[in-house]
């Protein structure tokens, strides 16, 4: 009887350790995904649909220096915005 209890205790402990390892792996994966997403660039249309804010308001925020736009020199070049900067602007940081 005591042997069965010891075996069950070892199995339960092993499961707890396994669960903790799985949780750590998932937390690290979410952290990495958040980092990758914050380094992502968005076009004006993507910013408009993400924030539900109009183009003129976004351009006004660029003019005020609240958002930095990344634009290559050239004819018809797209304005790009960093995802992390848009998040900070929305959150008021």
- d(CA 68, CA 86) in angstroms, rounded, equals 9
Task: Based on the fold, state whether residues 47 and 80 are members of the same structural domain.
Answer: yes
pTM above 0.95, yes or no: no
Cβ contacts of residue 2 below 8 Å, gap of 6+? none
More confident residue, 36 or 42: 42
Same domain, 45 and 25: no
Task: State how many domains the chain has.
Answer: 2
Per-residue pLDDT, 40 = 85
27 and 45 part of one domain:
no
Q: Residue 52: what pLDDT?
A: 93
Q: Which domain holds residue 27?
A: 1-38
Checking if the pLDDT of 38 tops 70, the result is no
* Average model confidence (pLDDT) across the chain: 77
């Amino acid at each position: 009887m005591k042997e069965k209890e010891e075996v069950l205790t070892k199995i339960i402990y092993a499961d707890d350790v396994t669960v903790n390892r799985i949780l750590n792996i998932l937390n690290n994966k979410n952290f990495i995904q958040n980092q990758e997403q914050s380094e992502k660039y968005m076009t004006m249309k993507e910013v408009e649909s993400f924030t539900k804010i109009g183009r003129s308001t976004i351009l006004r925020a660029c003019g005020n220096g609240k958002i930095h736009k990344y634009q290559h020199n050239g004819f018809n070049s797209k304005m790009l915005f960093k995802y992390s900067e848009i998040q900070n602007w929305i959150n008021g940081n």
